[in-house]
Every structure is written in C-alpha cells, then in structure tokens.
Amino acid sequence: MRVLTCNCHGLIKFPELDLGPDVKIEQYDNLCKLKLDIGADETVVIAGCSPNLLEGIFPNANAEFVNLLEHITLVNHSPEKAEQLIVAAVAKMQNTPPVKTKVFNIKSKNALVIGGGIAGIEVATQLSKNGLPVVLIEKTPFLGGTVSKLDRLYPEGTPYSHTLMPLINKLQTSGNVTQFFNTEITDVTGRVGDYKIKLKAKPRGVVECINCANCIDVCPVEVNDAGKKRKAIYYIPTFPDMYAIDFDTCTKCGECVKVCPGKIDLEQKAQESDIDSGAIVVATGLNWYDVSKVEEYGYARLEGVMKTLEFERAVASGALYPKKVAIVYCAGSRDSKHLPYCSKICCLLGLKEAKLVKDRFPDAEVYVIAMDMRSYGTYEYLYNTLRDKGVSFIKGKPSEIHRRNGILVVKTEDLFTNELLEVEVDTVVLNSGFVADTITFDKFNIKLNGDFPVLFENAGLGNYELPRGIFTAGAATFPGSVSETLIDARKASYSALSLLRQDKIETRIPQAVVDEDLCSVCRMCIGTCPYNAISVVDDKIKINEELCMGCGICAITCPSYASQLEGWNHSGLYEQIRALVKEGDVLAIMCRWSAYNATEQAAHDKLKYPENVKIIRVPCTGAVDPSHVMLALRNGARGVLIGGCYPDACHYARGNFRAKAREQILRLNLEALGMRKDRVRLEWIGKDEAQKFADIVYEMNK
Amino acid sequence: MAKPLVAFYWCASCGGCEESVVDLAEDLLKVVDAVEFRLFPVAMDFKYSDVEALPDKALAVSFINGAIRTEEQEHIAKLLRQKSQLIVAYGACAHLGGIPGLANVANRKEVFETAYKNTASTVNPKGIYPQTVTETEYGKLTLPEIYDTVQTLDQTIDVDYYLPGCAPPPDLIMNAINAILEGKLPPKGSVLTSEKALCETCERNKTKPDKLAIKDIKRISEVKADPEKCFLAEGIICMGPATRGGCGERCINANMPCRGCFGPTKEVKDMGARFLSGLASIIDVDDEAEMEKIAQSVIDPIGLFYMYSLPSSIINRKQGV
C-alpha cells in the first residue's frame, strides 16, 4: 500500500514515518500539480491538504485523505498527532476493499420523449436537430398538450397559435422524429443506455382524411370538452392534420362512415410496438387539481361555478357572456386538506382570465379574491394593468359559495377592510392548482415530493455521476409559464444529449453492496433508503445501482453488516478508530458535506481547539455506526462528537434524522452503562460554523 | 478402538445446558456409546485430580458451559484447555457471557449486597459476605474468589468452537458431536449454527411489510402479540434480525420475541449496538422531540439489547463501578 504525502511547498512539516514493510511512503511537495496514476484496484492514503480539493484531483482513487494542512499545520498541532492520523488512515485502508467500477454501456442512441405538449415537442426538436433519432409519443390523437386547449397565453393574452404552431412546424422539419399518437407505454425494462419499451397505440378510427369536416355534420354525439362543445369525431388544428374519433364517447352508429366510406374504420385494432432507447424524457405535463373536492365551493353542484380552463374556453368560444365574475384564488391550494403547496402559475392564470373578461366585455365586473397575489418578477405589470382596468382585488379566502335567488354568492372576509363580504356574481371561476400527470412516473421510478418529482430528478439537476437516463421536462417537473416550460425542456434536452453522446459511462461512486451470505432478508434496510434503491428480488435484497447515492444509511441499519458502503466498510472504520483514539481524546466524526468543512474553516479562521480532538470524515451522519462510537469510548475517548447537516438539510435527505434516533437510544445505553450521556453528542454544524465546532469540542474536553 | 475422552463442565450457568444433554433423549444413548466421560460434575463422580492426572491433550473435546466469574471456573477452564484437543463453548453463557454476564452492570460488592443482604428473602443480620478465606475452630476454610467482571469463555482461554443458545437445541448438539466424531469440522472459531440471522427462517418474516416503519416501541408484557405477525413490525422489540438463526424459532413459536441468545452474526462485534442502530433506523419520525420521547420508551436498554451478550460486547461492563 502507498501513502502519498504532500508537504504543500514546504508548508507542512512531516513527522518521521515508519509504517512497516507493507507500506510505501512517497513524498511530494506539490501533489495537486502532478498527474499521478492511482490504480483502480489500489488503496492509498493521501496526506496533504483538504480532501475536498484532493478528491477533485484524484476522483477515482480508493483513498483515505488525511488533512494535515488544516488539521495539523494551520492549527499548530503536533507532528505526533499527524502520525497518529496517518497510521489510523492506513489501518482503515488496509481493511477497506476498493470501490468497484460500474460501467453503463449506452447501447441505444434513441431518445424517447413522452408527451406531445410544448415541452415534449421542444425536447424532440432539440434532440433531433442534434442528430439523435427520437421517438415522440403522445397519449391523445393530437400534439399540443395543455397549451392547445387554451385560448390565450399570459401575460399579454396572445393566442396560443403564436407559440405552438412554430414549435410544431420546427418539429416536423427537424429530422429524425417518429411520432406515435393515442399511445401509451405498457412496459419498461432495462437501464440507462439500454431501455426496452413496449408501446400500445389505441385506434384513431380515421385512416385517411382531407379535413372536409363532413363527418361532424352527421355525428350525433355532442361532447363537452372542458367548456367547449365538439363531436365524438373531432379535430384540433395542431398535428397531425386529420380527424380522430373519441372512442370513449363514440356510439359506433356508423353515420360518419356513410359520408366518408373506406376512410373511417370503427373496428380498427390497437397496435403494439417495441422500441429501444438510451435516455427517456418524461414531459407528461400537468392536470388541474380536482376542485370538486373543495366541497364548500360547489363545483359540479352549482351552475355557474367553473374551472379556469372551462371558463376560458367557454368565453372564447362565445358560449358564455358573464357580467359579474368572481375569480377565487388558491381553490384547494396551500391548504393542508388539499394541495399543500403553491402551484406558482395559477395567480397569473387568474389574472389572465380577468384580462380575458375585461378585453371581451369591458363593462363586466370582475372580483379577484386572493389571499396573496404572487405575480412574481415582471408579471407584476399584468397585475397593475388589471387594477387600472378596474378589476376589484379582495384579500381573503372565501369560506363558502352558494346560490341565492338565482345569484351566486361568494362569502369571504376582506382582510384589507376587515369586513365580511358577500360578493354577488353570475359566474365563479375556481382558480385551482396543479398536480403532475403521474401516469408514467411509477414505470420510471420517479420519486415524488408532494405531487411533483423531487427536485434532483429535474432535468437541470440530474445526477451526472450516476445518470439513470430519465429526465423530466416542462410541467412534469413543475408548472411554469410557456417560456419557463420551454427553458426546462432545453435543460432536459441538454442532459439527454450529453448522456447519449457517450458510448459508455464509467463511475466509481461508492454504493451499498449486499453480502448474500450474511443477509437474512430481514428487510430493515428497505425503508431507511432515501432513494427507494433497495428492494426484494427473488427473495434477495437487491440494491438498484441506478438509484443508490452512497449515503451508507442502510449499512448502518443492517444488524448483520450484510450491507456495506463501498469505501466505508465497518471493519475499515473499526480499525481506523481503534488505531486513532487514545485515552482522553475527543473523536469528531464529521459529515463531509457540512461539519467537516467547519473543521477546515476553523484553521482559516485561526481558531484554536485542543490537540486531542481527532477528526475523521464520513459521507453522512447517517453512516456513523454506534458500535464505532462504543469503540472510541472503550479506547478511552472523553467524548465522541458526530457533526452533520441541520435537520431537513441532509445531503441524503434523512440521514441526519436516522443519526439522531440512533444517538438518542445510544445515549440511553451509555447511561445504563454508567457513562454520562453527553459523552456522545450529535450536533448540527454548518460548513461555516467553525466557532460552533471549536466551542463544542472545548466543552467536550471539560 | 478406544473411545474418545470427553469432559462436560459447568461454570457460571443455570444448569440448563446440562438439561439440554438430557433433551437429547434417545440420542443420548448413542453419545454415551460413542464416548467416554472424564469429567461431568452434574452426572458423574469424577474429581478434578482425575483430570489433572491425564496427559495433555488426552481429552478429545471439552464442552464448557457457563460464563467465567470465579477463580475456580478460571482454573478449571485453563486446566481443560491444557488437557483437551478441542474446546467447545457450550451455550450462551460460555459463548457470550449470557444472563450471568448481566452482573457486569454492577461490581462484586453490589452483587453481594443484593444477594446476601438486600433481597427480601435474605436474613443476614450480621452482614456476613462470602470470604475467600475463613478461619474456624476446625481450621482454615477457603472459597474461590468471585470476580468483579464476568467474562466469556474465550476471554479466559482459547476456544475452538461455539455451540450457541440458551440452551443449545438438541439438533445442533448432535450435529456438533457428529462433526467432532467424524472429524468434519468447520474452520476454527465457527459458531456451529446458521451464518444468517433468525429472520431468514422465521415464518413471521413473510408478514413483515417491505418498509418497516414504527412510531412507538412496545414491551411484550404490555401488549397481546398477534401470533402471526412480525414483532418488529408491531413495534415490539425482537432481536431476530441481529441474532443468528438455527434455534428452531423456539421463542417465536411460543409467541415471544427473540432476545438474542444465539448471539450476533459473524461480522458483528457488538450485538447490542448493532441491533440498537437498526431499531433506531426504523423509527419513522423526523421530529427531534418526538424521537426523544420514543427513545425514552426503551426501558432497560442493557437488559434488552445485551441480554446475553454484555461481557462479549465492546464495552463489556458498567463503567465507574
């Protein structure tokens, strides 16, 4: 084994080291400038400056880093301590097998884009323009998604055709895009670079079409499509340029076949196809929250109470001439009984509807009833415009909507005037929030935070080290304006493109591995994984390599040490602590993301802390083993400090909470064994909280 | 061919390990046919001097049960090591320290005060405690010294194999005896049972939800346990995930959770700390105050997590006493 030492241009003074015949010591004075080769199967100790820096220089090394600069030299600690740190690091690495290299071959260069709304269209166009073969699937018969249902877009109220038509035209001329309509995914197998997907296209019914529109004259089935009337056979002027039959409402009476013989097939069969794909962009958009669940607002019970989309389409198509309109904001949003979150765009949608009324019927009265107006950024202009146009804004949350003498009454408080109001109108628009269309999320193991994917699934924040090849785009990530949606689509395109440009991905990030000879399949680990990476497959515990982020929480949960985090296996850490901790020491086991950085900052802040404080670095407080704490105490440690991220700020979501629970029970154990419970402390220490770190270790030294 | 010579000795134990020999039933006759005893205090009248008279390594195997807590036990354990080819730590007390090992939460003085004075059934007005030497009119009487700290057998002498359990079940005993007689022994240091934890064979493991998450910790005495369901999933502490299997789930079948008498699996150095870590990890609460409350509901952590393994754990006794 090699120990690479760097004296940082003479800054670091080294002790004389004798680590036995099996350990070779190499001395450098500027390790950071050398391109040293460290083998994949080799384990090394690197002693020099900060691991945060050295990890960037040796990203693939199986290394334990000893920070002599910040933990010895700059804090004036002794060369003997330096030697102890190095000896302990050697003990660790002599008992730590190397991290396995994981290779993901990008076998398929196809990109699958799910969803033919503006996000999906934009992603497909971008990928196709860059030379990738793209499959775009859409579950309805037409492209356009939510935007194609709208009359206009905020803030100005421009018709959607300004935006959607150019996007569709660019897509159709971009190159190599295969489009499937009325299509759903029935099965997904495989992994990044090599997904196999089964598709099922439901029948369109219309085989050939010249858009003569004769069929709608004879179709007897009238359908209310979100506020707008159409027939069971219908057309949306986006793409493809042909009619389609809505088989959910079609009675198969055959009238349309009579006027268009041979070109309409009511008994058309579903078609199945298999495709392969290296990366998948999920652009499945959003759904309006089911506002009928907000019972006090009377949707579906009271005539004249409408959803925003219905209202917009009814007014635009001339089916509705409102004179007095109340637009009720946050209908079911920011409400623990319904959607606990803010959907971000609905405030602007409400303003858009108010402007629609004022544009069409300048004399109509419009009341906007809102707890808050979140017209963020420059959308504030739209709000100001509507104030100028005479829209009344009431600050409040309506308690009830009912009908009295044929008039709708909205009961609300007004927090500006501190009055209870009854607003009398002919139409109420319930401005509700949104949920993601989760139709495919389960198939792609996309985890949710509330009703939308957790942020790191987002295209722009994809995990490049270990890509799953699944990206979300547009409103499937989170609701946004048309321009925000297109920006998100570009981010997803970039992520998918940079992935598919490679032939293979090699990573050496540490992951949990399970020793089947030790695992009893007790399943205690499964629920502790923040990434749902653990499951039972064929009666064995299986770690999904695409999901495991290497926190080590499961390894410390496993009562048999069957699960181990590569690079941090229990016996390596055991030997490190056994070698390091001497009578009277304080052992500081620090999370690499927060508390460890504070220990480095202490050196640059010129803080002093006692020589007997020995610092080791771990991936997460959730990876700290109570057994190792016990070992440190047996070795005579005065105290053990576990330092990590503040609650809710854990890099691995919930590792610090797991650590907290373990600390709590461990402390009971210590007391029962006659020790003061504060000899073990789990503390939240932010990366700049050097003073806090120093204060705590002083306290623990008393 | 001469029959192999065998010793069966007891140290700090309850006698249950001796009972386990009787539990062999008809198989006991086979064992008696196959071997010749040279020491078996509960059953046969051999003297220590008989063993001392044997040449070194004359005994094929010595089965020693019980923890080591007296001078005499240490002496005989060392004597048997000298006279035996193999030493088998027999039962939880020899293996891990066992129930007598819980005395490590106190010292000798406290143990004596409890045993010879404070218990309600004890009448000892003169406060007389056991002495190693007592002068009487008939001469000097001696007793072996009782130690402050209870030890496992392998903390006293080198041990070749471990037969786990409180007490070891008959099938494992017969497997071990057959393996010794046939010379088909696993690597030295092996625990002669399953390498995996109890959950592997526990019927109730099937009823465990995939995501084990508990919101409170219950004591078995406080609830009526469902005879079908996984104890842990119900919030009842069961050491099964941290304990070697092979016991035949005797306790589970009697609707009692596992308390860990078979000891930890092979990589684990501190059974209690390991189980504690797993248990804490499945507490599905993110609120610190709530978490503290749940943790406080663990009554007697040593008696729960280290019921059989305190002397063998990383910190093997109460500190400061």
**A164 and A144 in contact (C-beta within 8 Å)?**
yes
Contacts of A468 (CB under 8 A, 6+ apart): A191, A192, A445, A546, A547
The per-residue pLDDT for A508 is: 83
Answer yes or no: is B189 within a domain. no
Minimum CA–CA partner of A522 in chain B = B199
The reply to whether B245 and B301 lie within a common domain is yes
| Contact at CB, B213 and A527, closer than 8 angstroms | yes
**B153 and B68 in contact (C-beta within 8 Å)?**
yes
| Contact at CB, A559 and B315, closer than 8 angstroms | no
Compute φ and ψ for A314, nearest 5 degrees. Answer: -70, -45
Residue A418 and residue A396: Cα distance in Å, rounded?
10
Minimum CA–CA partner of B203 in chain A = A522
Q: How many other C-beta atoms lie within 10 A of the C-beta of residue A237?
A: 12
Q: How many other C-beta atoms lie within 10 A of the C-beta of residue B131?
A: 11
Select the residue from B196, B277, B305, B318 to test the A interface by mutation, using most A Cβ atoms within 10 A. Answer: B277
The reply to whether B143 and B219 lie within a common domain is no
B245-256: string of b/e by CB count within 10 Å (b at 16+)? bbbebebbeeee
Residue B82 and residue B58: Cα distance in Å, rounded?
9
Select the residue from A519, A524, A570 to test the B interface by mutation, using most B Cβ atoms within 10 A. Answer: A524
Nearest to B10, CA basis, from B77, B85, B84:
B77
Residues of chain B in contact with residue A523, where contact means CB-CB under 8 angstroms, are 199, 205, 208, 210, 212
On the question of pLDDT at A489 being above 70, the answer is yes
Instruction: Say how far residue A623 (Cα) sits from the centre of its chain.
Output: 23
The reply to whether B79 and B137 lie within a common domain is no
Range of the domain at B59: 5-99+149-182
* Residue B315 to chain A, least CA–CA distance (Å): 6
Residues of chain A in contact with residue B274, where contact means CB-CB under 8 angstroms, are 559-561, 626-627
Mean residue pLDDT across chain A: 94
Instruction: Say how far residue A125 (Cα) sits from the centre of its chain.
Output: 24
Enumerate residue ranges in chain B where pLDDT < 50: none
Answer yes or no: is B188 within a domain. no
The per-residue pLDDT for A460 is: 42
The per-residue pLDDT for A16 is: 82
Amino acid sitting at position B267: E
Q: Which of A517, A519, A658 sits opposite B281 (nearest CB)?
A: A658
Task: Region of A666 please: left (phi>0), alpha (psi -120 to 50) or beta.
Answer: alpha
pLDDT by residue (tens digit) across A335-381?
999 999 999 999 999 999 999 999 999 999 999 999 999 999 999 99
Q: Which of A520, A634, A667 sits opposite B197 (nearest CB)?
A: A520
Diameter of chain B by CA atoms? 71
The per-residue pLDDT for A376 is: 95
The reply to whether B280 and B261 lie within a common domain is yes
Rg (C-alpha) for chain A, rounded Å, is 32
Instruction: Say how far residue A663 (Cα) sits from the centre of its chain.
Output: 29
Residue A578 and residue A580: Cα distance in Å, rounded?
6
**Helical ranges in B167-312 per DSSP H:** 170-182, 250-253, 271-281, 288-296, 301-305
The per-residue pLDDT for A456 is: 55
Residue A609 and residue A616: Cα distance in Å, rounded?
15
pLDDT above 90: percentage of residues in chain A: 83
What residue ranges in A85-243 does DSSP mark as E strands? 102-105, 111-114, 134-137, 152-153, 158-159, 177-180, 183-191, 194-201, 222-225, 228-231, 233-234
Residue A67 pairs with which residues in a beta bridge?
A48
Instruction: Say how far residue A462 (Cα) sits from the centre of its chain.
Output: 8
Instruction: Say how far residue B208 (Cα) sits from the centre of its chain.
Output: 28
Nearest to B62, CA basis, from B43, B46, B40, B30:
B40
The reply to whether B128 and B254 lie within a common domain is no
| Contact at CB, A633 and B195, closer than 8 angstroms | no
The reply to whether B262 and B278 lie within a common domain is yes
- Between β-strands A286-288 and A434-436, what pairing exists: parallel, antiparallel or unpaired? antiparallel
The per-residue pLDDT for B137 is: 94
A437-457: string of b/e by CB count within 10 Å (b at 16+)? bbbbbebbbbeeeebbbeeeb
Q: Please give, one letter per residue, the 3-state secondary structure of A148-182.
A: HHCCEECCCCEECHHHHHHHHHHHHCCCCEEEECC
Contacts 24+ apart (CB under 8 A), A445-448: A445/A470, A445/A532, A445/A544, A445/A547, A446/A282, A446/A470, A446/A472, A447/A531, A447/A532
The per-residue pLDDT for A462 is: 46
Select the residue from B238, B314, B316, B317 to test the A interface by mutation, using most A Cβ atoms within 10 A. Answer: B314
Residue A549 and residue B222: Cα distance in Å, rounded?
40
The reply to whether B158 and B228 lie within a common domain is no
ipTM confidence: 0.95
The reply to whether B161 and B178 lie within a common domain is yes
* Residue A599 to chain B, least CA–CA distance (Å): 25
Domain of B54: which CATH number? 3.40.50.700
- DSSP string of A591-612, one letter each residue: ETTTHHHHHHHHHHTT----TT
The per-residue pLDDT for A196 is: 97
The reply to whether B39 and B82 lie within a common domain is yes
Token duo for residue A236: 């949306």
* Model confidence band, residue A459 (pLDDT cutoffs 50, 70, 90): very low
Q: Which of B195, B210, B292 sits opposite A526 (nearest CB)?
A: B210
| Contact at CB, B277 and A625, closer than 8 angstroms | yes
Residue A601 and residue A540: Cα distance in Å, rounded?
44
Answer yes or no: is B135 within a domain. yes
Token duo for residue A430: 């319930």
**B185 and B179 in contact (C-beta within 8 Å)?**
yes
Contacts of A644 (CB under 8 A, 6+ apart): A590, A591, A593, A594, A595, A620, A621, A650, A655, A656, A659, A682, A683, A684, A685
Residues of chain A in contact with residue B301, where contact means CB-CB under 8 angstroms, are 665, 668-669, 672
Answer yes or no: is B161 within a domain. yes
Contacts 24+ apart (CB under 8 A), A332-337: A332/A289, A332/A291, A332/A293, A332/A294, A332/A432, A332/A433, A333/A289, A333/A432, A333/A433, A334/A371, A335/A294
Answer yes or no: is B246 within a domain. yes
On the question of pLDDT at A531 being above 90, the answer is no
| Contact at CB, A556 and B241, closer than 8 angstroms | no
The reply to whether B261 and B208 lie within a common domain is yes
| Contact at CB, B277 and A672, closer than 8 angstroms | no
On the question of pLDDT at A461 being above 50, the answer is no
Token duo for residue A254: 């055959």
The reply to whether B142 and B219 lie within a common domain is no
Residues of chain A in contact with residue B211, where contact means CB-CB under 8 angstroms, are 526-527
- Global pTM? 0.87
Residue B179 and residue A548: Cα distance in Å, rounded?
43
Residues of chain A in contact with residue B257, where contact means CB-CB under 8 angstroms, are none
Answer yes or no: is B66 within a domain. yes
- Rounded to 5°, the CA angle A6-A10-A11 comes to 90
Residue B104 and residue B114: Cα distance in Å, rounded?
14
Minimum CA–CA partner of A516 in chain B = B196
Select the residue from A522, A575, A682 to test the B interface by mutation, using most B Cβ atoms within 10 A. Answer: A522
The per-residue pLDDT for A549 is: 87
Minimum CA–CA partner of A623 in chain B = B277
- Between β-strands B68-70 and A279-282, what pairing exists: parallel, antiparallel or unpaired? unpaired
Residues of chain A in contact with residue B205, where contact means CB-CB under 8 angstroms, are 521-523
Residue A451 and residue B257: Cα distance in Å, rounded?
40
Kindly report the length of chain B: 321
Per DSSP, the three-state class of A587 is strand
Number of domains in chain B: 3
Residues of chain A in contact with residue B212, where contact means CB-CB under 8 angstroms, are 523-524, 526-527
Minimum CA–CA partner of A622 in chain B = B281
Task: Region of B320 please: left (phi>0), alpha (psi -120 to 50) or beta.
Answer: left
The per-residue pLDDT for A59 is: 85
* Residue A558 to chain B, least CA–CA distance (Å): 6
Contacts of A423 (CB under 8 A, 6+ apart): A326, A367, A369, A394, A409, A410, A412
| Contact at CB, A633 and B315, closer than 8 angstroms | yes
The per-residue pLDDT for A160 is: 87
The reply to whether B77 and B154 lie within a common domain is yes
* Residue B192 to chain A, least CA–CA distance (Å): 15
Residue A1 and residue A14: Cα distance in Å, rounded?
19
* Model confidence band, residue A455 (pLDDT cutoffs 50, 70, 90): low
Answer yes or no: is B250 within a domain. yes
Residues of chain A in contact with residue B313, where contact means CB-CB under 8 angstroms, are 630
Rg (C-alpha) for chain B, rounded Å, is 22
| Contact at CB, A673 and B266, closer than 8 angstroms | no
**A514 and A522 in contact (C-beta within 8 Å)?**
no
- How far, CA to CA in Å, does A200 sit from each of A109, A182, A274? 22, 8, 9
Answer yes or no: is B190 within a domain. no
Per DSSP, the three-state class of A62 is strand
Residue A686 and residue A664: Cα distance in Å, rounded?
21
Compute φ and ψ for A655, nearest 5 degrees. Answer: -60, -40
The per-residue pLDDT for A405 is: 94
